[in-house]
Amino acid sequence: MRLGVIDVGSNTVHLLVVDAHPGAQPIAANSHKIELRLSEHVRDDGRIADSGAKALATFVAQCLEVAEDRGVEELLPFATSAIREAPNGDDVLARVKDRTGVELQVLSGEDEARLTFLAARRWKGWSAGKLLVLDIGGGSLELSIGLDEDPDVAESLLLGAGRVTRELLAGDPPSAQQIKAARKHVRAEIAANIRALHKAGSPDCVVGTSKTMRLLARLSGAAPSSEGPYVKRTLTLADATAAITRLAPLTAAERAALPGVSVARAPQALAGAIIAEAAMDLVGVEALEVCPWALREGLILRYLDHLG
């Protein structure tokens, strides 16, 4: 069957059309996205501005048209951190529904961690043993570990690359004092919330998911996306530290000239490197493998499992 996933994240709104069947690998058929940066439409009181709500409703309507043109039979629409944490999130959801008829499912941070873990587990297989997954989104950082398809521990922290950039690294480029403060804040938040991960024991396999992890790996010499999803791509702790040093003095425009760094992702690349370094260091990870599947694939896989 042909499924369409509308993913409303802090950075992008993305429609992914896949051909999917229970027991089979979902195959991407079409992708349609916009760099809406919903988090940048957040006012000082945390509410999403009218401009952001209007743009979101307009793009979801576009996604519906694309889905119909592509023969989508079932639509799985969901939203994450930006909507979840906004005081007027329900109003934004109602506006989208009134305009389009689409009812966005708001995932909790724990849901995000668990679904991303499911996707990584299916990608790596049972031979990976105890699996640790690090996922850096625009609004949050998810950490999960376990032996099964549902992790034993699933944590979600308010440490997304977009959030840290907006709240702590406002300069272009940010000052040395801002960078120092951001690294201190990120490390303190992670350190305060990883006791359960440590109690779960040492992992046999560590993977990182998300555009941020792929960006950092590419910046460190990994194969470009054009070589396909089956090429092994890794990121080491030393790579993350080197990326901070490399990105810190550059403006967003200068970062965008580096391999793997898009214009849209350039402003938050430094924050992503800071989060990756802190998470890997504090969890005790020297290297991880970048997994091409993440939250969207996890949502599809769970849906297909329920069909069975």
Looking at residue 287, which CATH number applies to its domain? 3.30.420.150
Q: Which residue has the tokens 């993977």?
A: 207
pLDDT in tens, 3-52: 999 999 887 888 999 998 888 889 999 998 887 877 778 887 889 999 99
Span 186-199, average pLDDT: 97
Q: What is the pLDDT of residue 308?
A: 59
Q: What is the pLDDT of residue 11?
A: 79
Residues 121, 90 share a domain: no
Domain limits at 123? 112-295
User: What is the CB neighbour count within 10 angstroms for residue 1?
Assistant: 14
Q: Which tops the pLDDT comparison, 118 or 264?
A: 118
Q: What is the pLDDT of residue 132?
A: 98
Residue 308 lies in a domain: no
The DSSP result for 224-276, as a single string, is PGGG-TTS--EEEHHHHHHHHHHHTT--HHHHTTSTT--TTTGGGHHHHHHHH
Structural domain ending residue among the three candidates 84, 106, 128: 106
Span 165-191, average pLDDT: 96
Residues 175, 42 share a domain: no
Of 247, 287, 285, 283, the residue nearest 267 (C-alpha): 247
Span 82-101, average pLDDT: 93
The C-alpha atoms of residue 306 and residue 115 are separated, in whole angstroms, by 14
Residue 88 lies in a domain: yes
Residue 306 lies in a domain: no
Residue 66 lies in a domain: yes
Residues 130, 44 share a domain: no
Structural domain ending residue among the three candidates 81, 106, 131: 106
Number of domains in the chain: 2
pLDDT in tens, 120-163: 999 999 999 999 999 999 889 999 999 999 999 999 999 999 99
pLDDT in tens, 59-72: 999 999 999 999 99
Give residue 54's Cα distance to chain centre.
23
User: What is the CB neighbour count within 10 angstroms for residue 22?
Assistant: 12
Mean of per-residue pLDDT scores for the chain: 94
Span 165-179, average pLDDT: 95
Structural domain ending residue among the three candidates 106, 137, 167: 106
